[in-house]
Amino acid sequence: MIVRKEPFRQFIFGETIISKDPLPPDEIEKMILKARALAESGEVPSQDEILAVFSRLSKAWADPMYEKRQEALEALSGNSGLSEEFIKAILEEFFKIIDAGYLLAKIEGELAGAAIQDDLVACGKDEGIRLIARPAGLVLHVGSGNVFLACVESLINGIITKNVNFLKMSTDDRDFPVIFAESISEFDPSGVISRRLAVLWWRGGDEATEGLFKRHMDRIIFWGGTEALASWQKNLGPSAVLIRHGHKISFGIVSRAGLESAGLSDLTDNIAMDIAIWEQKACNCPQMLFLEDAIDDIDVKRFLDSLSGSLERITAMFPPGRRSDDEYVEVLKAREFARAEHLVTGRPVSVLGPKTFDWTIIFEEDSAKQGFEPSPLNRTIIVRRYSSLKTLSDLFKGYSFYLQTAGYCLADAEIQEYAMKLSAIGVTRLCPFGIMAIPTAGTPHDGSFALRDLTRFTVIEK
Partner 1 sequence: MAINVIAPINRISRERIVREFFRTTSYPRKNLVDIILTDRPFDFAHPWKDKFLEAMRWSFRHHYANSAFYQKLCIEKGFDEACIGSFDDIWDIPFVLSDVFKMYTIETKTPDPLRDEMSSSGTSERKSKIWLDRISGQRLMFSLYHINKALGLVGQKTSNYFLMAYNPALDETLGTTMSGIIMSYLTPRKGIFYGIDLDKEGQVGFLKDRSVEKLKEFLDEGLPIRMIGFIHHICEMIQSYRERYGRVIFPEDSYIISGGGWKGANPYGASFDLYRFLAEHTTLDPKNVRDLYTLIEHEIFYLECADHNKHIPNVAMACAREPRTLKRLSYGERGLIHLYSPLIESCPALSLLTTDYGYIGESCGCRIGGPYIKILGRAGVTKKATCAFTADQYVKDRAGT
Query: Nearer to partner 1 by C-beta: 344 or 413?
Result: 344
The rounded distance, in Å, linking the Cα atoms of 332 and 451 is 41
Sheet containing 164-168: which strands, arranged edge to edge? 15-19, 8-12, 197-200, 164-168, 138-142, 219-223, 241-245
Which of positions 99-118 make contact with partner 1 (CB under 8 A)?
none
DSSP-derived pairing of the beta strands 138-142 and 164-168: parallel
Helix (H, G, I), strand (E, B) or coil at 235: coil
Q: What does the per-residue mask of binding to partner 1 show for 222-251, with x meaning CB under 8 A?
A: -xxxx------------------xxxxxx-
- Terminal Cα-to-Cα distance of the chain (whole angstroms): 57
Which of positions 38-67 make contact with partner 1 (CB under 8 A)?
none
User: To 10 degrees, the CA torsion angle through 135, 137, 143, 147?
Assistant: 0
Does position 144 interact with partner 1 (CB under 8 A)? The reply is yes
Helices marked H in 62-124 — which ranges? Answer: 67-79, 84-97, 100-111
Q: How far is the CB of 381 from partner 1 (least distance, A)?
A: 13
DSSP-derived pairing of the beta strands 455-461 and 126-135: antiparallel
Q: How far is the CB of 104 from partner 1 (least distance, A)?
A: 27
Query: Nearer to partner 1 by C-beta: 129 or 438?
Result: 438
Query: Nearer to partner 1 by C-beta: 167 or 197?
Result: 167
Does position 369 interact with partner 1 (CB under 8 A)? The reply is no
Q: How many binding residues for partner 1 (CB under 8 A)? A: 49
Q: How far is the CB of 453 from partner 1 (least distance, A)?
A: 16
Query: Nearer to partner 1 by C-beta: 10 or 170?
Result: 170
Q: Which amino acid is at 100?
A: A
Q: Which residue spans within 262-369 are E strands per DSSP?
A: 286-292, 349-352, 360-364
Q: Do 244 and 228 contact (CB within 8 A), yes or no?
A: no
Q: Do 323 and 81 contact (CB within 8 A), yes or no?
A: yes
Stretch that binds partner 1, among 146-154, 174-182, 385-393, 411-419 (CB under 8 A): 146-154
Among 14, 211, 374, 432, binds partner 1 (CB under 8 A): 374
Does position 408 interact with partner 1 (CB under 8 A)? The reply is no
Helix (H, G, I), strand (E, B) or coil at 191: coil
Does position 90 interact with partner 1 (CB under 8 A)? The reply is no
Q: What does the per-residue mask of binding to partner 1 show for 299-338, with x meaning CB under 8 A?
A: ------------------------xxxxxxxx-xx--xx-
Which H or E element spans position 140? strand 138-142
Among 134, 215, 313, 339, binds partner 1 (CB under 8 A): 339
Does position 187 interact with partner 1 (CB under 8 A)? The reply is no
List of residues 6+ apart from 115 with CB closer than 8 A? 121
Query: Nearer to partner 1 by C-beta: 293 or 446?
Result: 446
Helix (H, G, I), strand (E, B) or coil at 219: strand
Does position 377 interact with partner 1 (CB under 8 A)? The reply is yes
Query: Nearer to partner 1 by C-beta: 114 or 395?
Result: 395
Q: How far is the CB of 118 from partner 1 (least distance, A)?
A: 33
Among 41, 43, 263, 356, binds partner 1 (CB under 8 A): 356
In sequence order, what DSSP letters do the residues of 294-351 get, joined into one string? TS-HHHHHHHHHHHHHHHHHHHHHS------HHHHHHHHHHHHHHHHHHHHH---EEE
Nearest to 148, CA basis, from 76, 220, 97: 76
Does position 376 interact with partner 1 (CB under 8 A)? The reply is yes
Does position 444 interact with partner 1 (CB under 8 A)? The reply is no
List of residues 6+ apart from 68 with CB closer than 8 A? 60, 61, 179, 180, 182, 183, 186
Among 47, 83, 154, 170, binds partner 1 (CB under 8 A): 170
Does position 458 interact with partner 1 (CB under 8 A)? The reply is no
Stretch that binds partner 1, among 49-57, 65-73, 101-109, 373-381 (CB under 8 A): 373-381
Among 83, 117, 146, 393, binds partner 1 (CB under 8 A): 146
Within 13 Å of residue 209, how many CA atoms lie on the same side as its CB? 19
The rounded distance, in Å, linking the Cα atoms of 256 and 203 is 50
Q: Which residues bind partner 1 (CB under 8 A)?
A: 144-147, 150, 170, 172, 223-226, 245-250, 280-283, 285, 287, 323-330, 332-333, 336-337, 339-341, 343-344, 355-357, 373-374, 376-377, 399, 402
